[in-house]
Amino acid sequence: MLTADDKKLIPQTWEKVVSQCDDAGKDALYRMFVAYPQTKTYFPHFDVGPGSEQVKAHGKKVVAALTNAVKNLDNLSQALSELSNLHAYNLRVDPSCFALQLLAQCIQVVLAVNLGKEYTPEVHSAFDKFLSAVAAVLAEKYR
Ligand code: ZNH
């Protein structure tokens, strides 16, 4: 459960990171491909090499989806409903990827790199809860 403090900290922090780092999504994706190479199998149609325009564009979409989620902390299921359908019915990403929070962990590292000392335990905790909730919504339509 997100506390009232989490609900203040998440939008403030997210706003700060995306305004200072234009490539947060791309950075998180590259980290995911390197740290968890099995995730590349879902992107056979992508150039996942350095400087890839496809990874950059996909990173922007991920950031936009998370920005929308940040604005809808009290109704994530509704806000991410389309995206949840897409992952469960079309993309068929193995739900273990969400359980293991493969992209979410990489987003945490991107936050830490960009925030430095401001990546406090409270920020870490708030984003852990938020990103877990997002991953849970993306995994909820599987059966
Ligand atoms: Zn995902 C897609 C988000 C995770 C895989 N995604 C996507 C998109 C978005 C997202 C926004 C776009 C959509 C449209 O276009 O409409 N994801 C997301 C998030 C997360 C995720 C937020 C967490 C946090 N994914 C994930 C994972 C994986 C994936 C983990 C695996 C590994 N996705 C994917 C794919 C796709 C997507 C494959 C498709 C791409 C293209 O374009 O093709």
**Domain definitions of the chain by residue range:** 4-142
Ligand 1: which of 32, 103, 109, 128 to mutate, judged by most atoms within 8 Å of the beta carbon? 103
- Residue 134: per-residue pLDDT: 98
Eight-class DSSP state of 94: -
Instruction: Evaluate: CB of 55 within 6 angstroms of ligand 1.
Output: no
Contact 56, 26 (CB under 8 A): yes
Q: Say if the ipTM goes beyond 0.85.
A: yes
pLDDT tens sequence across 65-119: 999 999 999 999 999 999 999 999 999 999 999 999 999 999 999 999 999 999 9
pLDDT band of 143, cuts 50, 70, 90 = confident
Q: Is the pLDDT of residue 9 over 90?
A: yes
Q: Which atom of ligand 1 is nearest the CA belonging to 62? A: 11
Phi and psi at 44, nearest 5°, equal -65, -25
Side chain identity at residue 1, one-letter code: M
What is the rounded average pLDDT of the residues 137-142? Answer: 94
Percent of the chain past pLDDT 70, that is, above it, reads: 100
The DSSP line for 107-136 is HHHHHHHHHGGG--HHHHHHHHHHHHHHHH
Specify the pTM.
0.97
Q: Could you tell me how far CA 28 lies from the centroid of its own chain?
A: 8
Ligand 1 atom nearest residue 98's Cα: 30
Q: Domain 4-142 classified CATH 3.40.50.2300?
A: no
Ligand 1 contacts CB of residue 83 (under 6 A)? yes
Q: Which residue has the tokens 């990827």?
A: 97
Question: CB of 137 closer than 6 A to ligand 1?
Answer: no
